[in-house]
Structure 1
Amino acid sequence: MTVETTSLDQFLKLPVLFEHFKEHQERDPKVSLLEFLAMHYWGQDLDDNDNARDNQLPFKKVNINIHQVLIVRFSAVPQIIAAEQIIPRTFIAYKDQYHPDPDLTSPFRPPCA
């Protein structure tokens, strides 16, 4: 199982969460971890011009990968038909009679009397 196809890759971003929490504590030492989480996940984030950094946090942007598998059960074993049975062996010769007269199909033709 690969990590990229599940949401488990978001857990690899946890160090970014703690680093960003330290950055917020440097600005305001009173910010607790719960307030930080509430600010970034459950409430309105401060307009502190760090949206690019906020989007690097885990579970901010989750990539959803869907893999669909189609399983078909046959009631009978499918038979493979040889190509020789499908392609006709007789060929129709090209005849000019199949093409209409260009004078009859032309939009610019003389009036009929």
Structure 2
Amino acid sequence: MSVENTSLDQFLKLPVLFEHFKEHQERDPKVGLLEFLSMHYWGQDLNDNDNARDMQLPYKKVNTTTHQVLFARFTQVPQIIAAEQIIPQTFKAYKDQYHPAPNLTSPFRPPCA
């Protein structure tokens, strides 16, 4: 399955999120994970001149992809021409030896002496 055309490719950017969180903690050890997520996703980011790095975080940019589909209209109905193929068929005789005896595989059998 290809993830480039879905938003699942953003999960591949999760290591960048944790690295950037570590960078923020190096600058200010008091920054917690929820505060970090809040400033980058739900609130105002600090003016710390790392906007290019912030835009590498998952789900910061919307990826748009387009698919083009071409429909062709035929003036005539296409005809399918089947070629005759002769396939030799040989069948092996059925043998009971391929099935185990029912009295050996039954869960309800008499005790052995």
Tell me the CA shift for residue 70 of structure 1: 7.0
| Stretches (4+) displaced over 6 A | none
Structure 2: where are the runs of 5+ without partners? 78-113
Q: Which residue matches 1:51? A: 51
Q: Percent identity?
A: 79
Say yes or no: does 1:6 pair with 2:3.
no
Q: How does 1:1-113 map to 2 (within 5 A)?
A: 1-67=1-67, 69=69, 79=76
- 8 Å CA contact 1:40, 1:54 repeated in 2: yes
Larger Rg over CA atoms? 1
Letter in 2 for 1:40: H
Letter in 2 for 1:66: T
Question: RMSD over aligned Cα, in angstroms?
Answer: 2.1
Q: How many residues align?
A: 77
Cα separation, 2, equivalents of 1:32 and 1:70: 51
Q: Higher RCO, 1 or 2 (CA under 8 Å, sep at least 6)?
A: 1
